[in-house]
Amino acid sequence: MNPRIIAVCVLFSLYLSSSAQKNYLLESKSDKDQRMEWWREARFGMFIHWGLYAIPAGEWKDKTTHAEWIRTTAQIPLKEYDQFVPQFNPDQFNAKAWVQMAKDAGMKYITITSKHHDGFCLWDSKETDFDVMSTPFKRDILKELATACREIGGIRLCFYHSIMDWHHPDYNERRNWEKDRPVAGTDRKRYIAYMKKQLKELVTQYGDIGVFWFDGEWEGFWKHEDGVDLYNYLRGLKPDVIINNRVDKGRGGMAGMTTAGGYAGDFGTPEQEIPETGLPGVDWESCMTMNNNWGYNKADKNFKSVKDLIQKLVDIASKGGNFLLNIGPKADGSFPQESIDRLKAIGDWMKVNGESIYGTNASPFEHTSWGRVTQKTAGNKTYLYLHVFDWPKDGVIHLEGIGNKPQYVYQLWDKEKVSFIANRNSLMVQLPGRSPDENDAVIVLEYWEKPLVYKAPVISTYSADFIQTTDAVITLPAGENRTEIRYTTNGSDPTAASPLYQSKLNITQSTVVKAASFYKGQMVSGVVTRSFNKVKPVGAITPASTAPGLTARYYTGDWDSIPAFNALSPVETGVLKTVSTGVYADKELYGVVLEGYIKIPATDLYHFYLSSDDGSMLYVDGEKLVDNNGLHGLEEVKGTKALAAGYHRIRIEYFEKSGGDELHLMIESKTDKKKELPALMLFH
């Protein structure tokens, strides 16, 4: 065949293969379960934030509060920041020591910053000189960690990788103080191609990488379609790799969970927090610092106690999540002594109690006053691990809502049997006189059959406040089919003689609904309570005149929370037609106050959802309805108010320090789905 024809055929086949990239979002549940198995088994991992920012150690000029964001928070010009490169020489770095410390602490994987927001790479990348090979150290840190993980065993290597990049010229988001990085001539597609080439290096040259943990997706540069494409690109290179939800745009603020809507990502990423309740059927991982900062800050001595860290690990496991605990190494490559001490103490606890964490599932109980519960199934046996945080003075712990007795009850620390009394729907366990571990002592219930756990019903409604009438729906949790629901509407606890719930309750007056699960005439669950309040809608007002949009007053300042704007002088005024992303685009260290009227179409109860990065407040008719104040990533907070049809005063206060500058206000009613507040409702 003619060589030219062969070349054309090859190019055409490459085009077809690239344009027909497999959609891994359509993966079956069984395939995903198999892929996620090791990660769900692990439950505990080490996060490592390390790079050039460790050199200033949080200090710049007169401030000592910086860390991995120092280039932005201290507003360091690029050429000045680049001077850290010839200073990076971590002669105390020992990959085997790092991996061994993680393993000895009971961790099963390490997630390290291959590249943070500053763009500096910890590996020998062929795509840039802004990497570790340009430093005096000249050693591939990630390669050494990959080798150490293989040689020591029992630890999976994972990479954190920032989508945002403050160094690469083609990542074209800029801060208002950056005068040395022109946007002209930048190429968004070229940056994405660069990022993909770097990720291909990481996924193909560093062994069996377990997770790609993305971050920095919140800026306008990154689009939903980019997230889906990158997810499929990496899965195409390594089909079994696990990818967090920050690869896409679906993360709901620091709560970290993906909102509905076809977003890519295998697990949610709560940051510095633990979900209040479990999330059945959802994979998630809470990442937290040991002290206040992710990167090393020599002045930050506010370390969490060993007890707090162990109980956080247990709390997360009891809700079905993973715990990713952060270390910020020093510039010389050593761990802070406070971190070393805590890792050792956690490891000592895990040597005794690890089986109550690894491979466990969320607690089948909604609440236990004395601690937490994890569970594990092995063959025909089920183990319930009772983590006793608060040792009872009388030596007895009560477990309510369990309908069968275990074969054995014993202390995990020494396997000694413990006496217990099993009633029809509860268990009383007699503990020894004092706790053997002030952090958490574990009692094991061993069942040779599935434990019969009776769960309380759930009372659902559009809103507990209502104007004329509302409906209350009472349901049993998924999988609970042995019990029936009985309820009251007078504030008293339900009994076997209380009404049997059969259909939704129509509420017309303020009342308290209580409900519980019953089995063969006996209450077998706790009592759930929901108060319903009949409210009067706030009356509308009649403005003298109106024009579309809200007045906007802009202020400049460096704040950590919303200032007293009324005491400040604005630097600019104008009118905004919508409350939307980037109210003062491409700037930082500013605040804005939006004021005017919202025209309510019909008398109803309205939910308002205010989301921002950083803090914001919403006032309606002079009442603070939403408090979303403080420094945080994009975070949504809800407020509810009954409003009569017509005009109502509205005021939004917002400040931006660094990072994203998103501000959104959404509205919802019983008859209208949640949506961005439309421009046609806003006036001044």
* Residue that is last in its domain, among 356, 380, 408: 356
| Same domain membership, residue 527 and residue 387 | no
Residue 63 domain-assigned? yes
| Same domain membership, residue 653 and residue 593 | yes
Please say if the pLDDT value at position 147 is more than 50: yes
Q: How far apart are the first and last CA of the chain?
A: 74
pLDDT of residue 5: 42
pLDDT of residue 367: 82
Please say if the pLDDT value at position 4 is more than 50: no
| Same domain membership, residue 315 and residue 401 | no
Q: What phi and psi values does residue 658 have, to the nearest 5 degrees?
A: -155, 170
Please say if the pLDDT value at position 15 is more than 60: no
| Same domain membership, residue 569 and residue 501 | no
3-state secondary structure 51-86: CHHHCCCCCECCECCCCCCHHHHCCCCHHHHHHHHH
Residue 121 domain-assigned? yes
- pLDDT single digits (tens) 337-356: 999 999 999 999 999 999 99
| Same domain membership, residue 382 and residue 347 | no
Residue 469 domain-assigned? yes
433 vs 609 pLDDT, higher one: 609
| Same domain membership, residue 179 and residue 44 | yes
* Residue that is last in its domain, among 489, 504, 534: 534
Q: Are 445 and 406 in contact (CB under 8 A)?
A: yes
Q: Number of folded domains in the chain? A: 4
Residue 366 domain-assigned? no
Q: Are 125 and 131 in contact (CB under 8 A)?
A: yes
CATH of the domain at 636: 2.60.120.1560
Give the span between the Cα atoms of 362 and 314, in whole angstroms. Answer: 10
359 Ramachandran zone, left/alpha/beta (phi>0; psi -120 to 50): left
15 vs 372 pLDDT, higher one: 372
| Same domain membership, residue 625 and residue 517 | no
- pLDDT single digits (tens) 517-533: 998 898 888 889 999 99
Q: How much is the average pLDDT of 182-209?
A: 97
Average pLDDT, the chain: 92
The count of C-alpha atoms lying within 13 angstroms of the C-alpha of 72, restricted to the half-sphere facing its C-beta, is 22
Find the range with the poorest average confidence among 3-7, 118-122, 328-332.
3-7
| pTM score of the predicted model | 0.86
Residue 470 domain-assigned? yes
Q: Which helix (DSSP H) or strand (DSSP E) does residue 518 occupy?
A: strand 511-519
Please say if the pLDDT value at position 170 is more than 90: yes
| Same domain membership, residue 465 and residue 432 | no
Please say if the pLDDT value at position 8 is more than 70: no
**pLDDT band (50, 70, 90) for residue 41:** very high
Question: Hey, which residues does 411 pair with through a beta bridge?
Answer: 443
The string of DSSP codes covering 358-391 is TT-B--SSS--TTEEEEEEEETTEEEEEEEESS-
pLDDT of residue 157: 98
Radius of gyration of the chain (CA): 28
Residue 364 domain-assigned? no
| Same domain membership, residue 90 and residue 201 | yes
* Residue that is last in its domain, among 484, 502, 534: 534
Give the span between the Cα atoms of 79 and 57, in whole angstroms. Answer: 19
pLDDT of residue 209: 98
Residue 665 domain-assigned? yes
| Same domain membership, residue 150 and residue 44 | yes
| Same domain membership, residue 427 and residue 343 | no
Amino acid letter for position 115 = K
Give the span between the Cα atoms of 265 and 331, in whole angstroms. Answer: 32
CATH of the domain at 376: 2.60.40.1180
Q: How does DSSP classify residue 608?
A: E
CATH of the domain at 485: 2.60.40
| Same domain membership, residue 95 and residue 141 | yes
Query: Cis omega before residue 437 (within 30°)?
Result: no
- pLDDT single digits (tens) 549-577: 999 999 999 898 999 999 999 999 999 98
Residue 117 domain-assigned? yes
Q: What domain range is 413 assigned to? A: 371-447
Give the span between the Cα atoms of 199 and 194, in whole angstroms. Answer: 9
